[in-house]
Structure 1
């Protein structure tokens, strides 16, 4: 479809990236980012807060995500650019809005990279309990940075493989869990676990709502499709296919796996410091299964980190081309990689390394908390931008080739739900995020 003439200048300044990503690879990039530590490790925190009502938490989170994906799909089909929602906010809301969204999201994903690699170090302790975490952080980080510096085609192929491995493993987990819960004659497993240990909502509504916040952290990265559209072979077709495939897979994998997991392991034993998936395998007692599951979880974290490095690099590239960051960060290698932007995006790895040394026991929860603000702010601004976007097209009386059903109610509901996620349990998120936004505005 025809872009507004003013937006064409935004797209033009971001030229140079190679369009080599297929619809399948775009979907896997989003899956790769969203099915990672949030599911395999973050779910332990969510279960600890909400108990079995974590299923409601993740369902609410999925609903918010569905609304967000619809808003993004509309805007991305109209404008496929690596600047994505930052560029949309710049054009439809204000240049300052675009500036804040770009930097807030970049900071969130950079810190999410640190969160993933911190989790990787925790997973490696299963096999090497005495090796310091910082060694694993630096080793795996170096490997993925090298991978991202080759070409976008290589990145897409490796990410597709990573995501395929973890999706296959989750599918196998679901089949095994279904048999245990519904096909086994043992009374040890079953839906009675939902109410046997303090009830379905053991910590009340507040505990369930805190878990909604964690679920949003888990779903974070679905918006990567909009950024990857700037390097898609056929953006309009690829974006539609990728959005549909991603939301279905996320809802099925998150809700179904959590429902089965809580039917096998009592919630007050699943929500511990290690991954609940590993705990389930320990309960089942299949020889070697625990080690295999830990390997799959490791691959999942690598996949998420790989996707996040890709996205932070493209967002910084977009900022540079917009004149909001040093020009050197917008330079491309011969293969179309913004290498300087990639190297700068390793800041989160540095933060994770320091925290793993200074606060080895709390490093993961600290990284997760401080990365949340930028993510929530970005989601909030996507809903706001969509309202401005629709108002623009209504005023111009231009037709959209893809529309979010139930507009404006869906957008407004998503906006309200996202603004209520800041609760007492995530005070660190506000303590980090509010001053960061103030500094950006003043700067």
Structure 2
């Protein structure tokens, strides 16, 4: 049955689909220096970003291969239901919804803190409330309005990164007025990998989280005007741009500022972006970058709310959530699913404000664990997708992941290794403390619901 018969509307253009994917994947970390990854790997952080980009590229192609054939609400979660079974579809979508709702909460609190850069006396709850209402209003409107809003919001951070890379290249090659070129002197402090290869792998585990959001392109397929054309194009362009932005951007960062200094930098004013823009004579560089980082947080929040509501909508359509959540407005927006996600947003915000050092790290850990589990299940789904279609004598997808199934297996093992590594890092150990119990709870909830269905 066509998706528009279910209420969602195919109103997203190709450029909007591509920018929504970018908006979900580029958060505030790059602008603030990615200090943790740099402190671990030194200049070799560039290699860490490149390795993680390869896994993200494989994920994007795997998603495009499947969603071109099945451009349905729920994206990869619905495809997992079809090829791995209802339990996999249930667990993957619910853990992804939980992860995205937590991410929304963390982004809006961050946005509130950025607003206090200009208004330090402002109580945190006020900008958090205003930003939450604004993003909810955008999502309650038509998907066409959401797509246009997100396009221009994401464009701000994309343009900023491009300017930063070009300015950085000019600074390194020729210098800027009053600031001679440092060359590559910043790379000589202890060598390329000053803390060893083990530290580089820990940095890989950290920077992989920068690419979370790559999967957003699959969720937009159900509302794309031409998913067969837009989704593959968006997947290819998104990963190419992420590699360009993250790898080149980080290369500029560790070239213009010694890595030990960048690793210890705190706040907007110490961001390498602010330093470079100040060198270039751009007035009020700190204020401009704070605005960019604020829009980056709101863009990521906006996209994540879209993703979580569509996942919840697809769960309701498949009978894994209350059927009432599949109701859409006259504009084609799943308003009830959005309202439930907004309730989760409120909980995440309250926890982040009331218990920032105890409870909130567990929620963030759940988000990280859930996103990586979703990635692993995406690769598992693609293996089953290929196998079952071949067994049924169906033609292959018009878009194919090169080297599959070997590239699929390699990427899945890579993501699995990253997930295991989080258990041994101080910053991400909460991923297992919160993620495993929640995963077991979801499995139990599915088994209980199946038993009740059979007894009915």
Settle same-fold status: TM greater than 0.5: yes
1:368-394 deviations in Å (ceiling 9; x for gaps): 433101100000000111111110121
| 1:117–1:141 contact (8 Å) kept in structure 2 | yes
2:104 equivalent to 1:113:
yes
1:326-374 deviations in Å (ceiling 9; x for gaps): 1121111111111111121124532442244334578986654331011
Show structure 2 runs of 5+ residues with no match: 446-456
Give secondary structure in 2 for the equivalent of 1:40: coil
2:404 equivalent to 1:407:
yes
| 1:174–1:256 contact (8 Å) kept in structure 2 | yes
The counterpart of 2:120, out of the listed 110, 118, 129, is: 129
Tell me what 1:245 maps to: 237
**Cα distance in 2 for residues equivalent to 1:246 and 1:122:** 29
2:264 equivalent to 1:274:
no
**Cα distance in 2 for residues equivalent to 1:417 and 1:92:** 22
Query: Counterparts in 2 of 1:358-377, with a 5 A limit?
Result: 358-360=354-356, 368-377=364-373
**Cα distance in 2 for residues equivalent to 1:174 and 1:60:** 20
Tell me what 1:439 maps to: 441
Tell me what 1:192 maps to: 185
**Cα distance in 2 for residues equivalent to 1:362 and 1:279:** 30
**Cα distance in 1 for residues equivalent to 2:359 and 2:171:** 35
Aligned length: 433
Show structure 1 runs of 5+ residues with no match: 1-7
The counterpart of 2:322, out of the listed 301, 305, 326, is: 326
The counterpart of 1:353, out of the listed 339, 349, 353, is: 349
**Cα distance in 1 for residues equivalent to 2:86 and 2:240:** 34
1:26-81 deviations in Å (ceiling 9; x for gaps): 00000011112243348233223322221111111101000111111110111101
> Which stretch of structure 1 is more off in the superposition, 162-171 or 377-386?
162-171
**Cα distance in 1 for residues equivalent to 2:186 and 2:361:** 27
Q: Compute the TM-score of the two structures, normalised by the length of structure 2.
A: 0.89
Distance 1:98-1:275 versus aligned 2 partners, 3 A rule: farther
1:167-217 deviations in Å (ceiling 9; x for gaps): 112111111111111111755633221231x33223333332232233222
Distance 1:182-1:348 versus aligned 2 partners, 3 A rule: farther
Following superposition, the deviation at residue 277 of structure 1 comes to 7.6
Following superposition, the deviation at residue 316 of structure 1 comes to 0.4
Tell me what 1:5 maps to: none
Tell me what 1:174 maps to: 165
Q: Compute the TM-score of the two structures, normalised by the length of structure 1.
A: 0.92
Tell me what 1:301 maps to: 297
When the two chains are superposed, the root-mean-square deviation of aligned CA atoms in Å is 2.2
2:306 equivalent to 1:310:
yes
**Cα distance in 1 for residues equivalent to 2:363 and 2:160:** 27
Tell me what 2:413 maps to: 416
Tell me what 2:198 maps to: 206
Following superposition, the deviation at residue 87 of structure 1 comes to 1.1
> Which stretch of structure 1 is more off in the superposition, 94-103 or 368-377?
368-377
Distance 1:291-1:363 versus aligned 2 partners, 3 A rule: farther
Give secondary structure in 2 for the equivalent of 1:346: helix
